[in-house]
A and B are shown apart, each in its own frame.
Chain A
Amino acid sequence: MITLTINGKSQEFDVDPATPILWVLREQAGLTGTKYGCGIAMCGACTVHLNGMPIRSCVTPVQAAAGQEITTIEGIGNAATGLHPVQQAWIAEQVPQCGYCQSGQIMAAVALLHTNPAPTDADIDTAMSGNICRCGTYPRIRKGIKVAAAAMAAQRGGANNG
């Protein structure tokens, strides 16, 4: 048995410890927002956060996450619990097309803005170039990150003032 904390909830899984986190999330935990794209950490569709850091869940064995915090796209926000500013920006800028890569793109963008609240274009290139989008939504992703960064800065400003 391996214990994982997924989106704040502790769960036990009876799996081969070498199984990549991706398949445990999708098949055992029923969280299908995290996608399989390449299986070799080349496309980023499987990006989740491990203790807040973006990782490629398709190549990270589940044993490496035992007892630690995994966050998936389902834990970032939704219409019921409230959308994250990155998700709001993705809607405002109409970023997704086919949408298959976008969970991974959003996870990478959220992680970027967590460590770097005001990323430059070069910062965005560095943080986001591991995530492939075959629909070519890159210009809108770039814009979305900037829109989200501004919204988050405004929130912080509001919080400081309030």
Chain B
Amino acid sequence: MGKWTRRAFITTGVLAGGVLVIGVAIRPGNRSSRVAGLVAGENETLINIWLKLGADNRVTAIIPHAEMGQGVHTTLAMMLADELDADWSQVSMLEAPAHPEYANYAMARAYTLGDRQFPAWLLPTVDGFFLQATKMMSLQITGGSTSTWTTGQHAMRIAGAAAKAVLLQAAADSWGVAADELRAKDSHIHHDASGRRAPFAEFASHAAELKAPVTPRLKNPDQFTIMGTDVRKFDIPAKVDGSAVFGMDAKVRGMKYASVRAAPVFGTRVDSVDSESIQGMPGIRKVVNLGDAVAVIADSYWQASRALQQLPVQFTRSADDNRDQADIFRQFASDLDAATANGKEQTDLRKGDARAVLANAGRIVDAEYRVPYLAHATMEPMNCTAWVHDGLCELWLGTQNPLGFAAEVAKAIDFDSDKVLVHNQYLGGGFGRRAFSDYAIQAARLALESPYPVKLIWSREEDMRHDHYRQASISRFRAALDAEGKPTAWENQFTEKHDPVEAPYIPYGIDNQYIHFTESNTHVPWGFWRSVDHSLHAFFTESFIDELAVAAGKDPYLYRRDLLAEAGRFRDVLDLAAAKSDWERPLPENWGRGIAIHKSFGTIVAQVVEVEVLDGKAQARRVICAVDAGFAVHPDGIRAQMESGIAYGLTAALYGDISIRQGAVVQGNFNDYQMLRMNEAPAIQTYIINSGESLGGAGEPGTPAIAPALANAIFDATGYRIRELPVKLHDLRSKSNLETKDVA
């Protein structure tokens, strides 16, 4: 891995704002020839491995990233094209093949497997990959978390700028003039002194042979012509006429179809299967016992799934067979109690001496919150088409980690990893789920036993009951308030920490903080879920700060604002959300308004929710969202991701509840794992701040704040404090459940 890193990273120059950026785009030596056959066709020249030029002057950005609706194919191409001074109407993109030369995936993968301390969320943000790459690099060199976002966001730009530099040099050589007399614009090189002008393509072959600068000059924001504009996304036309190919849609000649049922209790196995009993059913090819699952392969998916439903399977027993959700929460509570009693808390953050202040406090407020397990429920259930032939295993699927999948599948079927070829398709939702290769391994194992390609499709029930779940958790708080109601100490204890490390940290100026956690393992498999730990901690911390405001008799917005005196960027975002919501405006009866703010993945988001509570049911009517991602490269993309993050988080807050009964997941489909629908979707207004700070992500930061903003709005409307999600568990007609205790 170290070898890879030294080869892959070189430092580059200084950006606007004086931030040192380190690029991953240009590597020493011309490596393009190694991938030219994979990505470049006739009449195309690879300028560097991220960029090719067609004879027709079309620029193609090669994007090492999967598209799952977050718009990354478009956003990254914009960054490259802007630095290149390309004509956007003549820019296309190509998703990079799963090849080691595009080893961003492999780099991320190595750290995911090698070191759990390393934040391992995979790619759901606009710049997820480059974040990984630079985080990794920062382990090797130096660097704080601030530079990673900048580094990541500028990697694609370096490829564009470096390509422009070699094109300018090639034109200078060709025309016998100095390169600094030339400029690039609209995919042409211009020599203003002579009025000469020629398309990039004219210089492509010479440019491709020149040594690209590793520290090309990048633009200042006032020079951007594409970044910061609302271009149309590349992937949309194919998604309105049915022609977009998702993993589910892969067509491989001669393929058969498989349906699978895994042992319902995680960790158990197939004990016996009566394959004979379904042999007479139409279209059945075979029954395969995969050890922890049983699959039926048939001529059509319908035949396979019908037969599987009727197939008698016995599974092994386990100690977890008797575990219910209540047992799991009891375990969490007792593990937290024990950690405190034994002094075995794991320190997350310590600042000042919160315990000492609490011990002498005049006034203490405490509260305990809970959140359930959550499934991803991507619209496209897990699926993979696999074909083993000629010593190769080819896979057609949607994955957030193509090279990682190739390596894991290879290991599972004992192939060399370069004999596993991943053909990545559009992802019908990812949200972190498609970073786990279980479905690809199943398909490969079925194909290994079959003389034909096999398309494995998980039923919705299989998808929901064999996910990798956002953790359930309990979080407890104590805060000391001074005479003015201002918090002087903040103590927070919770179960199960994953990442990012800063998820439970608060932006508020509280001198004494003690944040600690206790691992409390269960048999339920964990997975990255949109915004990962932020998805629960924002609910915990932003609900509790709201409770402190109420205890202090202060307005929840102004209370937060006062505590953000030293955090100007947060304050600006909070102020914008409050102002745009017309915070002081009286609301109709049964309506309430709540606010929350949270930073994740480098982006600060504040949201105000207006809720109507009718007949005990809460409905979010309007959401005002303010977002500071540093600079909005694709503003409409940010708006879309805020809308998406809000809907995803709102669905979870209102309804999301995966629960365990007798060791297995109860919920199986959209009838019992309810989704937000059109009639419940709030109007959303998003306001963007371009603060010029380090760039942040967009795919996840919309999600964390919505649950607490909703819960705070419900409190405002009803006096009922939601301390356990989802909201549907509560009867909001019961006037008040206020347990907030003034202990002293």
Contacts and interface: CB of A to CB of B under 8 A. Distances in A.
Contacts of A125: 678-679
Q: Give the dominant DSSP class at B's interface.
A: loop
Main secondary structure of the interface of A (DSSP, over half): loop
Given A32-B242, A79-B241, 12 more contacts: A20-B302, A45-B379, A73-B242, A94-B233, A97-B640, A99-B69, A100-B426, A131-B677, A134-B429, A136-B645, A139-B683, A140-B643
A96 interface: yes
Contact of A99 (B377, B428, B640, B677): B428
A74 B379 contact: no
Nearest to A16: B282
Contact of A36 (B232, B236, B237, B248): B248
22 contacts: A16-B303, A19-B302, A32-B248, A37-B379, A40-B460, A72-B242, A74-B242, A76-B241, A79-B241, A83-B240, A98-B378, A98-B426, A98-B430, A99-B239, A126-B679, A132-B675, A135-B644, A136-B646, A136-B681, A138-B677, A138-B681, A139-B683
B302 A96 contact: no
Nearest to B70: A97
A98 B302 contact: no
Interface in A92-123: 94-103, 106
Interface in B640-674: 640, 643-648, 650-651, 669-671
A45 B239 CA distance: 13
Contacts of A77: 241
Interface residues of A, number: 61
A44 B71 CA distance: 24
B681 A94 contact: no
A136 B241 contact: no
B676 A102 contact: no
Interface in B261-313: 282, 300-303
Contacts, number: 189
A57 B235 CA distance: 26
B240 A100 contact: no
A135 B678 contact: no
B205 interface: no
Contacts of B70: 97
Given A136-B646, A138-B678, A91 B251 contact: no
Contacts of A78: 241-243
A26 to B, nearest CB: 8
A131 B428 CA distance: 15
B379 A100 contact: yes
A2 interface: no
Contacts of A33: 241-243
Contacts of A39: 459-460, 669
Given A33-B241, A132-B670, A134-B379, A124 B678 contact: yes
A120 B53 CA distance: 48
B381 interface: yes
A15 B283 CA distance: 10
A121 to B, nearest CB: 9
Given A76-B241, A91-B237, A98-B427, A42 B671 contact: yes
Nearest to B427: A98
B248 to A, nearest CB: 7
Given A37-B460, A94-B232, A132-B379, A103 B678 contact: no
Interface in B619-641: 636, 640
A128 interface: yes
A30 interface: yes
A43 interface: yes
